[in-house]
A = this chain, B = another copy of it.
Amino acid sequence: MSRCENCIIRQFNSLRAMNKEELKKVSDTKISKTYKKGEAIFEEGERLDGVFCVREGVSKLSKLSANGKDQIIKLATKGEILGQRSVIAEESANLSAVAIKDMDVCFIPKESILHTLNTNPNFAVEVLRHMANDLREADDVIVNMSQKTVKQRIAEAFIYLKDSFGEDSDGFLKLSLSREDMSNVVGTATESTIRIISEFKKKGMIETKGKKVKISNLTKLQSVISGL
């Protein structure tokens, strides 16, 4: 079994602030898991007794609204830790986490996390910094959601996918979302998303090949976001 001490993923998250001893405990108690695309890591309302460190793949974090639609709050990938907020607040999960690309994940029981928080200020501050960052991002999403049009939000989403997940050698986005997931990210109806994507294609901003999407004119896409 691989050891957390050697895990490169750790460098990207707050676990890097743990000392040797603490890491050993985590390593001894962690459980490796895999999830196929579409499988849930946890569901909204579920009691979590640990956190999930993403080693590979991508997960969508979403919440069901009263009208039955799923709002995707965030996409989490390699290095991110899921469930941390719930474990710290000692609440049940506020969001569901579902794999949108096959995932390798380490489950870490909450005891070692909570114990380290209470004894190692470096770790606590590191976690705090991460959460402060998440909070800023969430605030920014609120502003985008309420002040930008659907068209602008979809254009932003494509650029976000490019910046966060990259492109392959042919220039196609490494992560492409289904129209439905895209709709749930920007908070609109699937038909609206489809229509706008068609429009972007016609205007030569993006092109598609099967499920893959390529941004062919970044400048135009960006101009959609800023003005009109």
Taking beta carbons and an 8 Å cutoff, which residues of A are in contact with B?
Answer: 63, 65-67, 69, 71, 73, 85, 88-89, 91, 94-95, 117-122, 124-125, 127-129, 131-136, 138-148, 186-188, 226
Interchain CB contact under 8 A, A85 and B138: no
Closest to A136 in B: B94
Interchain CB contact under 8 A, B73 and A139: yes
Q: How far is the CB of A70 from chain B (nearest CB, A)?
A: 9
Q: How far is the CB of A113 from chain B (nearest CB, A)?
A: 11
With contacts A65-B147, A69-B147 taken as known, whether A142 is within 8 angstroms of B131 at the C-beta atoms is no
Closest to A85 in B: B132
Instruction: Select one of B63, B73, B132, B187 contacting A131, CB under 8 A.
Output: B132
Interchain CB contact under 8 A, A132 and B71: no
Copies of this protein in the complex: 2
Interchain CB contact under 8 A, B88 and A139: no
Instruction: Select one of B63, B124, B125, B147 contacting A139, CB under 8 A.
Output: B63
Closest to A84 in B: B132
Report chain B residues within 8 Å CB of A117. Answer: 121, 124-125, 128
19 A-B pairs in the complex with CB atoms less than 8 angstroms apart: A63-B143, A66-B148, A67-B148, A71-B142, A73-B142, A88-B128, A89-B129, A89-B133, A91-B136, A117-B125, A117-B128, A118-B125, A119-B121, A120-B121, A124-B128, A128-B131, A138-B138, A145-B145, A146-B186
Report chain B residues within 8 Å CB of A146. Answer: 65, 71, 145, 186-188
Other A-B pairs, 14, CB within 8 Å; known A85-B132, A145-B145: A63-B143, A66-B226, A67-B147, A69-B147, A71-B142, A88-B125, A88-B128, A88-B132, A89-B133, A94-B139, A95-B139, A119-B121, A121-B121, A147-B187
